[in-house]
Amino acid sequence: MDKIEVCYGLSKTIAGKQNYENEKPLFSLKGFAEIGKEAEEFKRLKSIVDPLAEEFYKACKSDNSNIRVRIKDGKKYPSVNSILSMGESIPMEPTLLQCYADRGTEIEKIVFDFIETGKWREPSVSIGNLKWTDIKYKEFFEKYGKILNFKTMQKKIEVYNDKRLYSGEVDIICEVDGMTVLSDWKTGQWKWEQVVAYGHCITDDSIEGYAIFDLKKCKIEVLTLEEAILHWEDFLEKRGAFRERFGL
């Protein structure tokens, strides 16, 4: 018996956020039906395609809400943090999440003020029920102050990688025990891939290694350039996955 080809397709617009253009991915499927039974086959294909398109739409809509993109010379540079998180949000109540962010930002300002003046000032922002004492920033400098050199310090540097097209902001470049390191202040979780990716935006040979100044654990973690190679490869894999998913 003769059969006829039946096709069904659905395209849903994913509204662009954080400098992303709208996207209209097309989901389609085709099959064959006996003449006179095309409507039944069309309905079957629709029942398969529609849920897949809706699931993808919801996933992309959720991801885009947490993505940051910088613009430079007309080009788009997604942030390192957005790449590492793939746009996924931290499962936490929004107000509490903001308190954690505000505490980290304020402590960073306090630390830089101390480096420049030699004096500690008290925090001046509200952080809800969180505690300032959970972050051992004063103890950190008591413990490591003698091996830290901020005389040639560079701070808050916005960086771009023009080859891989990503961006970020370096907290500080300074010396740890005589080694010039690119580092971040941390008051919570962190990944080596972040600072290593920042390092690959620096075009000169000034960086000798990487460091994390963990103010919560009151600890310095140091990574040599050789040790950083695997973390760079891990970041490149995530960069590729990000590009494949979001088109950037």
Q: Note the pLDDT of residue 238.
A: 96
- Taking the domains of the chain in order of start, what are their residue ranges? 3-65, 75-246
Domain 75-246 has CATH 3.90.320: yes
Entry pTM? 0.73
Q: Note the pLDDT of residue 18.
A: 41
Q: Note the pLDDT of residue 12.
A: 64
Do 159 and 242 contact (CB within 8 A), yes or no?
A: no
Mean pLDDT by groups of 10 residues along the chain of 248 residues: 77 52 66 80 82 69 70 94 83 85 96 96 94 96 96 95 96 96 95 97 92 97 97 97 90
